[in-house]
Amino acid sequence: MRIANTSLALLTISLLAAFQVSAQTDAGAPSNALRVATGKKGKGYSKLFANINAVCGAQVAMTEVETEGGLQNLTTLAANQADLGFAQLDTLQDMKSSDEAIGALQAVLPLNMNLLHVIGRADGYSYKTEKKLGGLMGGDTVNIPVAKFSDLKGLPVAVVGSARALGRVLDRRNAMGFVFVDVETDEQALAKLKAGEVAGLLSTSGWPSGPVQKLKRDSGVRLVQFDMAVQPPYQLIKKNYENLDAFNHAFLAAPNLLVTRAFSASGVNGRAVATLQSCIQKNLVNLQEGQFEPAWRDVKNTTDTFGWPRFVGGKR
């Protein structure tokens, strides 16, 4: 049965996971350090945090809170288990009515685009029929090639992190009829894909994605082109993954934001967030031109938060 309230269902999933967040302060970090919810190590949010810490850590003490990604970052912030966090704009918009604390979050900085990475088996998805269907007898094997997102219609897909929310939005908008399999990591999703348990996996990350970069041409998987209609706040952009011979590949993309709880201007955290915001803005050219993540080149205007309320020195 299709879930009627996507936001409520996602909130329930993420709240359950939030109780398992590894939110301990890093060894040696001061007790007043800003806690920043990121995602899995090796993926985009964690890499962006490392860059920010490298250029601004001397001015603002920070510690990383590892989560499953943007969706869980929001519930982690709402539960006061983090002070700042990374999230996709579409996830924020979809979840803002589910919790007042999420709706009250403020944008510190616009970031790069997150890409929906859709991966399928190179040889397609195979399943056995359970009963006579058309000209097929029960027990016959059916193989469905998966080269485009639309090829996944009606099939089981593994979803990771923020793709839990995005996958359900796309399912609803395009009547895809997905059978969702929620997993915690890209590695678990890939294992299910290679075992034939799912027809595809959906995972969001900035470009390039660490887990996708690790894949080889002979790994038995392929990147799947996004071929559906695109509506705001999404965009269609093209990127390359040479390791999978994927060139000029179409990805669905959504903007990321670094968000904060609505701290008062006079409070310790409010002043620290204001200092961090100013530090990132002053070091943006260094982040874009230095030996940091290519994602920083996507940041064009640090005051454009795509319509989401902006943090301005802790003032409301």
pLDDT digit string, tens, across residues 160-174: 988 988 999 999 999
Q: Same structural domain for residues 83 and 173?
A: no
Residue 311 lies in a domain: no
Q: Is 132 a residue whose pLDDT tops 90?
A: no
Continuous H helices in 97-202:
100-103, 163-174, 186-194
Please tell me whether residues 120 and 141 are part of one structural domain.
yes
| Confidence band of 15 (pLDDT split at 50, 70, 90) | very low
Closest CA to 219 of 250, 202, 194: 194
Instruction: Judge if 158 and 273 occupy the same domain.
Output: no
Residue 308 lies in a domain: no
Whether the Cβ atoms of residue 273 and residue 247 lie closer than 8 Å to each other: no
Does residue 247 sit in the same domain as residue 269? Answer: no
- Count of structural domains within the chain: 2
Per-residue HEC secondary structure of 229-292 comes to: CCCCCCEEEEEEEHHHCEEEEEEEEEEEEEEECCCCCCCHHHHHHHHHHHHHHHCHHHHHHCCC
Which pLDDT tens digit goes with each residue over 241-250?
Answer: 999 999 999 9
| Residues 140, 88 share a domain | no
User: Does the reported pTM lie above 0.75?
Assistant: yes
What range defines the domain where residue 203 resides? 115-254
Q: Is the same domain home to 179 and 72? A: no
For range 251-261, the mean pLDDT: 97
Query: pLDDT band at 295, cuts 50/70/90?
Result: very high
CATH of the domain at 183: 3.40.190.10
Question: Would you say residue 56 has pLDDT above 70?
Answer: yes
Please tell me whether residue 125 adopts helix, strand or coil conformation.
Answer: strand
Distance CA 311, CA 302 (A): 11
The reply to whether 135 and 243 lie within a common domain is: yes
Q: Specify the range with the lowest mean pLDDT, choosing from 3-17, 130-144, 239-253, 272-286.
A: 3-17
* 152 and 220 belong to one structural domain: yes
